Chain A
Amino acid sequence: MVSRRKKRKAGGHEESIPSPPGYSAVPVKFSAKQQAPHYLYMRQHRVRQGTQSTWPPDRTLFILNVPPYCTQESLSRCLSCCGTIKTVELQEKPDLAESPTEPKSQFFHPKPVPGFQVAYVVFQKPSGVSAALNLKGPLLVSTESHLVKSGIHKWISDYEDSVLDPEALRMEVDAFMEAYDKKIAEEEAKAKEEEGVPDEEGWVKVTRRGRRPVLPRTEAASLRVLEKEKRKRARKELLNFYAWQHRETKMEHLAQLRKKFEEDKQRIELMRAQRKFRPY
């Protein structure tokens, strides 16, 4: 009810759509048929001093709350009236990385189900960003001239996309393994070059290379060695040889009985509280 009243007011005075500080609010709907819009919250993408970004700062528009049915193409089309768009990138979360991410393989990283996303739109000129921030909307994701698939049509289309070409997969795998093998070979060559070369102080590092496996420097291996030592030491101890050892064993047993008794009492208390002793 509150939102309905708010919407009416918003309809009457478009200037007063609330938005977070620094952001501009633009309503967006899937199509003309819908009554209630979502709101895109936009601002110019800026970075803190000292950090680098993959996005050109003065030509990038940052958008929050992009609805799930909004695709790259439809977003690009909605904003094309603001100026020529070079790229549109949809992401699940705002970009915190400093380096550009490698293009992901469609075979090994399938496209996830989209939820509400954030978008980075790079215009050709800074004026595109300014124009976008002044949009009134509502933007329509799907129009008669540019239908966006949803529901059954989208799922069928996604299914078709999911039937992948094994030949393309083979080529990608081969390319990856070729690069991987090359990298491994380079590492081995580098290690071989450093073999026998003294460092600044004149020491020569001795490394073992061969087929026979050595004890790995792993946490589990270290723990296992320690456990073995402890067990070896314990085996050498005589048990129940001294009177104090015998008394200690009995005391240990009694302590266990006491602990069990206290546990049992607590359990009884719980069962009593739950009326578990009433057989009717």
Chain B
Amino acid sequence: MPSAGERPAVKMGPAPAGEQHRRATEDPEVMELAFEGMDKEKAPSRKRARTEPPAEGLLQPVNLSREELYKEPTNEELNRLRETEILFHSTLLRLQVEELLKEVRLSEKKKERIDNFLKEVTKRIQKVPPVPEAELTDQSWLPAGVRVPLHQVPYAVKGSFRFRPPSQITVVGSYLLDTCMRPDINVDVAVTMPREILQDKDGLNQRYFRKRALYLAHLAYHLAQDPLFSSVRFSYMSGCHLKPSLLLRPHGKDERLVTVRLLPCPPLDFFRPCRLLPTKNNVRSAWYRGQSCPDYEPPTPHYNTWILQDVALETHMHLLASVLGSAQGLKDGVALLKVWLRQRELDKGLGGFNGFIISMLVAFLVSKRKIHTTMSGYQVLRSVLQFLATTDLTINGISFSLSSDPSLPTLAEFHQLFAVVFVDPSGRLNLCADVTASTYNQVQYEAELSMALLDSKADDGFQLLLMTPKPMIQAFDHVVHLHPLSRLQASCHQLKLWPELQDNGGDYVSAALGPLTNILVQGLGCRLHLLAHSRPPVPEWSINQDPPKHKDAGTLTLGFLFRPEGLTSVIDLGPEADKPEAADFRQFWGTRSELRRFQDGAIREAVVWEAESLFEKRLIPHQVVTHLLALHADIPDTCIQYVGGFLDALIQNPKEISSTGEEALALAVRCYDDLSRLLWGLEGLPLTVSAVQGAHPVLRYTEVFPPAPVRPAYSFYNRLQELASLLPRPDKPCPAYVEPMTVVCHLEGSGQWPQDAEAVQRVRAAFQLRLAEVLTQEHRLQCCATATHTDVLKDGFVFRIRVAYQREPQILKEVRSPEGMVSLRDTPASLRLERDTKLLPLLTSALHGLQQQYPAYSGVARLAKRWVRAQLLGEGFTDESLDLLAASLFLHPEPFTPPSVPQVGFLRFLYLVSTFDWKNNPLIVNLNGELTAEEQVGIRSSFLAARTQLPVMVIITPQDRRSSVWTQDGPSAQILQQLVSLAAEALPILEKQLMDPRGPGDIRTVFRPPFDMYDVLIHLTPRHIPRHRQAVDPPVASFCRGLLAEPGPSSLMPVLGYDPPQLYLAQLREAFEDLALFFYDQHGGEVIGVLWKPSSFQPQPFKASSIKGRMVVSQGGELVMLPNIEAILEDFAVLGEGLVQAVEARSERWTV
């Protein structure tokens, strides 16, 4: 006893800290010298750069003088350039990486404060008084203010415990390695329990963990009395329920600076290694389950590993220190990798691929010479990602140990016991013991994506790789919440997971996780690209509370990433009936498996799912998951919240809830294809048709609500009999909205075309007339010709055929100078014609091709467009610009893969809109991959040079590389900013709703526009809103719109493009656009929002050209013009007579 008391406690070594400190001070000194050198060389440019920061967040073209560009390079400059080329692959990337590392690194000042705090912590731990020995089951000595941070089940256990001050206190983990990163500054402190506390056989039956918890409880009670700490709380070490830790936070202004985690551990050589091999059993069945005389004791590999982890804390620390200690590049690499993992939610919780594992992986690769100590952080990042992308640790595990010691387990033995294998130098400890195959597959998958991104050398690679978060709801196509977690106890029972429960200390969530994911992976089969699961956040709790239960961990959330081609299959084919595998198939699928005879004569087991439309096929995984979880894991569908198609309701026809419209769009496209063939084959035209091109959103699958074939009920209409047309009747609700679909029809070249623009228009008109005659004569189609187009009714669809003469835009551009020189100048008419007859068909064709390649494009584009219009901003954006925004999610999905379902695509659309830097970047949508990397660089340079002449939103495509034709007329800066704000608000709301395990609630919340920002609201009567059924909140009842339910032939042209709200808005904008902006949702909106332009309320001197809607008043003896607001408000009602229900003027919002 006296000798034990006299044993000197080993304090935290001064040498490592001092050495670390000295080494740390060297680096700033070196950097400072380099900085001074650079400063001396580049003083003039640096000074100018410093005094001219980017103005208002806008990039300016670089303005280096010729002298600066072409002066002789210094050795310093040459060395830096060469270094950049070798260690990074571009200067931009190097600068970005350096800035990031600055941001996440701890500063020296903070390190000093942390070091001081650690010294104090060490002192106070040493002063905690001892406790006499007591039986483990006798815990009456514990003070009332603290509870044991461990569920002690079963409670009865042999052995005794007494508290003695720790024999050693050592800082371990990333802090000393200088790879500790903000914002979570955690310092791990290993507290070695003295040998006399531990007894033989403490490795059995959780005795070690009981002592560990009691040791921690006693420490907690006494440290909580100390005013040094603002907070003393329990937590779990890496989320492991058997291994609590104690969190200490400083008092005062340093409260948020750091969290110190106390981790009790045994003396290094206490446990005999042979007893902790993963193949050994250390939780006796007799003790755990009360089972007497079991024939077989299953191994407890996880339990054993958790003890080994504590034993190896310092050993691993020394290994990492020896490898990383003097290599700044390696440390930088670890820091970058930690950021990479964090952005992908891979590093947290039990089984997370955490910073420790990634550090050990770096050390492993150094030992294998795959990473060299002279590498930069970027190179280390790249090397590790390359390794992860190309190695499958679920099949080919790795080990530090080179030993062929027969007493150590082989990698094959490790693979039998663990899903992922990464063995430490001792040869006994699997560093990835808690990592599931799913988590590792996710890491691997992300590494593959990241390597592809790095290899592409994209300019925004840094941003996508390290700065873009990838939350589960945005990264995965479907998400499933399993709630409550206590249900997994029944799953363990059904799956007979007694050995796993025994091994996991009763943590049924961890025990069930692997088997559950395996079942789902097998069931989803070739539909599934990747399955991921959430890991519960590591809880912390007060020391006077019991620790949280397993079921308190919240929700288990699974993410599914699908193969697009797998989503179209409705059959899961099994083996042939006479094969032995058939029984396994039937056992796996239960009653859903049926014997079927197929056309090739084979009789096989098969599962057939009920799905017809693309919408239903996309939700087959829902059926699979629900069925298998109920069958094999006793999880009823009431505990399953499947989040895959909630948003689809926004693009569904209320009458057709079993589809999201892809089938209806395809029907219209097929009709268009038929029409094309008719046009190609016409014989009665003077010139033959050389091309037929679609130019309407329907024909590129991006019309929000697809058209349906129409057949008018004639009694609903007036009619113009001689012109075979129907007219709306004022005494009836307005007819259904039938929008003609534009088709551009090119004719073969001919020398007979005139050279005068007006004459060309007449000739085109003649062709439109002739086209109508020929279609009627040859194909009995109902046609209506005008000067600019021919409307054709075919199978209930109306197409608007525009004849195009390819030289007409050029004729419109021709300007002849007095000398006779002909030059080409763009005019509004020529640009519009070129856009409508050349660029728009090209775009429609390219996007049609995109839809063939990515079936989810239609759903995503239409959902995004629906949302923009629902926010009343649709008028500010062309159809085409919104279609291209959606297309960019598929063509440039990094850091994701192209969406497979509308839900995830829409979330990324909101993210893109709310985060894209429209001021400083064009959005490049590389249709068909026609733009090379070099061309894209040139486009960005041109963009910067011409920024002030370009629209606020610039979208570049291969056919439109400079001017961004689809955003020339909008949005304005104000409208774009509003869109960005609304998207930034909607995204977190929607994500929170979709991630709620109890259900998303009202999914339409983010679609309802805010009305409080408008000065006047004009309420419309639904009777005359033809698309009222398309409203965000569909009406319970609706009006007859003059269509028969069954489509059929019609001899009269339906009412085309008649939309009273749109006609009303056209009048409002024409009359009042100087004074106000008008906002409306064309899809059944019932309210028009009016926003006065503040500038219009300024008194203005009289000018004949700008008196519209104003009146002259005398102000201070001076005659000025002011808007005649009261008359205008009455105009709103007059112009909209019959349509307008009420004009709600919020006059408190403005003053004249």
List the interface of chain A (C-beta within 8 A of B): 1-4, 6-7, 18-21, 25, 30-31, 34-39, 41, 64-65, 67-69, 93-94, 107-108, 112-116, 118, 150-153, 155-156, 158-160, 163-166, 169-170, 173, 176-177, 180, 184, 216-220, 222, 251, 254-255, 257-274, 276-280
Q: Which residues of B contact A184 (CB under 8 A)?
A: 754
- CB pair A94–B1104 under 8 Å, yes or no, is yes
B1134 within 8 A of A: yes
Q: Which residues of A contact B920 (CB under 8 A)?
A: 267, 270
- CB pair A4–B822 under 8 Å, yes or no, is no
B390 within 8 A of A: no
Separation of A159 and B1128 alpha carbons in the complex (Å): 25
- CB pair B1138–A151 under 8 Å, yes or no, is yes
Interface string of B328-354 (1 = CB under 8 A from A): 000000000001001100000000000
- CB pair B1126–A3 under 8 Å, yes or no, is yes
- CB pair A273–B1071 under 8 Å, yes or no, is no
Report the minimal beta-carbon distance from A190 to chain B, rounded to whole angstroms.
Answer: 17
Interface string of B920-940 (1 = CB under 8 A from A): 100000000000000000000
The contact sample of 26 A-B pairs, CB cut-off 8 A, is A7-B1126, A18-B1114, A30-B1130, A36-B1127, A39-B1124, A68-B1131, A94-B1105, A112-B1070, A150-B1134, A151-B1135, A159-B1055, A173-B765, A176-B762, A180-B762, A217-B821, A217-B822, A218-B823, A251-B70, A260-B91, A263-B62, A267-B92, A269-B49, A271-B96, A273-B57, A277-B100, A279-B466
Q: Which residues of A contact B1126 (CB under 8 A)?
A: 3-4, 7, 35-36
Q: Which residues of B contact A34 (CB under 8 A)?
A: 1127, 1130, 1134
B54 within 8 A of A: yes
- CB pair B761–A108 under 8 Å, yes or no, is yes
Report the minimal beta-carbon distance from B912 to chain A, rounded to whole angstroms.
Answer: 16
Report the minimal beta-carbon distance from A108 to chain B, rounded to whole angstroms.
Answer: 5
- CB pair B769–A279 under 8 Å, yes or no, is no
- CB pair B99–A271 under 8 Å, yes or no, is yes
Report the minimal beta-carbon distance from A130 to chain B, rounded to whole angstroms.
Answer: 21
B608 within 8 A of A: no
- CB pair B1124–A219 under 8 Å, yes or no, is no
- CB pair B1122–A3 under 8 Å, yes or no, is yes
12 new A-B contacts, CB < 8 A, other than A65-B1108, A150-B1134, A258-B68, are A18-B1114, A18-B1119, A34-B1127, A36-B1130, A38-B1124, A218-B824, A254-B70, A255-B70, A259-B69, A264-B90, A273-B54, A276-B467
Chain B: CB-nearest residue to A256: B69
Report the minimal beta-carbon distance from A105 to chain B, rounded to whole angstroms.
Answer: 8
- CB pair B822–A1 under 8 Å, yes or no, is no
- CB contact under 8 A between A262 and B1071, given known A152-B1060, A271-B96: no
B1063 within 8 A of A: yes
Report the minimal beta-carbon distance from A273 to chain B, rounded to whole angstroms.
Answer: 7
Among B68, B343, B720, contact of A279 (Cβ-Cβ < 8 Å): B343
- CB pair B1108–A261 under 8 Å, yes or no, is no
- CB contact under 8 A between A180 and B754, given known A107-B787, A160-B727, A259-B62: yes
Interface string of B473-503 (1 = CB under 8 A from A): 0000000000000000000000000000000
- CB pair A153–B1105 under 8 Å, yes or no, is no
B1139 within 8 A of A: yes
Q: Which residues of B contact A180 (CB under 8 A)?
A: 754, 756, 759, 762
- CB pair B1107–A41 under 8 Å, yes or no, is yes
Among B59, B73, B100, B1129, contact of A267 (Cβ-Cβ < 8 Å): B59
Report the minimal beta-carbon distance from A204 to chain B, rounded to whole angstroms.
Answer: 19
B102 within 8 A of A: yes
B784 within 8 A of A: yes
Separation of A219 and B815 alpha carbons in the complex (Å): 10
- CB pair B728–A156 under 8 Å, yes or no, is yes
Separation of A91 and B16 alpha carbons in the complex (Å): 89
- CB pair A169–B183 under 8 Å, yes or no, is no
- CB pair A68–B1071 under 8 Å, yes or no, is yes
Separation of A40 and B70 alpha carbons in the complex (Å): 68
B196 within 8 A of A: no
- CB pair B1066–A113 under 8 Å, yes or no, is yes
- CB contact under 8 A between A169 and B1138, given known A180-B762, A268-B99: no
Chain A: CB-nearest residue to B1115: A2
Separation of A268 and B1110 alpha carbons in the complex (Å): 50
Q: Which residues of B contact A156 (CB under 8 A)?
A: 727-730
Separation of A41 and B1112 alpha carbons in the complex (Å): 9
Q: Which residues of A contact B1105 (CB under 8 A)?
A: 93-94
Separation of A262 and B54 alpha carbons in the complex (Å): 12
Chain B: CB-nearest residue to A20: B1102
B526 within 8 A of A: no
Interface string of B299-341 (1 = CB under 8 A from A): 0000000000000000000000000000000000000000100
Interface string of B711-722 (1 = CB under 8 A from A): 000000000100
- CB pair A151–B1140 under 8 Å, yes or no, is yes
Chain A: CB-nearest residue to B1059: A155
Among B73, B720, B787, B1127, contact of A38 (Cβ-Cβ < 8 Å): B1127
- CB pair B104–A279 under 8 Å, yes or no, is yes
Among A18, A64, A277, contact of B102 (Cβ-Cβ < 8 Å): A277
- CB pair A35–B723 under 8 Å, yes or no, is no
- CB contact under 8 A between A169 and B1130, given known A115-B1108, A180-B759, A262-B62: no
Ranked 5 nearest A-B pairs via Cβ: A151-B1137, A152-B1138, A116-B1108, A36-B1126, A219-B823
- CB pair A264–B339 under 8 Å, yes or no, is no
- CB pair A254–B73 under 8 Å, yes or no, is yes
- CB pair B824–A220 under 8 Å, yes or no, is yes
Separation of A113 and B1064 alpha carbons in the complex (Å): 10
Of A39, A115, A217, A255, most buried by chain B (CB within 10 Å of CB) is A115
Report the minimal beta-carbon distance from B626 to chain A, rounded to whole angstroms.
Answer: 37
Report the minimal beta-carbon distance from B331 to chain A, rounded to whole angstroms.
Answer: 17
- CB pair B59–A266 under 8 Å, yes or no, is yes
- CB pair B96–A277 under 8 Å, yes or no, is yes
Q: Which residues of A contact B549 (CB under 8 A)?
A: none
Among A222, A259, A271, contact of B64 (Cβ-Cβ < 8 Å): A259
Q: Which residues of A contact B1073 (CB under 8 A)?
A: 115
B918 within 8 A of A: no
Among A20, A173, A273, A276, contact of B1119 (Cβ-Cβ < 8 Å): A20
- CB pair A39–B824 under 8 Å, yes or no, is no
- CB contact under 8 A between A218 and B822, given known A255-B70, A273-B57: yes
Q: Which residues of A contact B1024 (CB under 8 A)?
A: 152
- CB pair B104–A37 under 8 Å, yes or no, is no
Separation of A107 and B762 alpha carbons in the complex (Å): 10
B786 within 8 A of A: yes
B584 within 8 A of A: no
Separation of A1 and B1150 alpha carbons in the complex (Å): 10
- CB pair A39–B1070 under 8 Å, yes or no, is no
B95 within 8 A of A: yes
Q: Which residues of B contact A37 (CB under 8 A)?
A: 1127
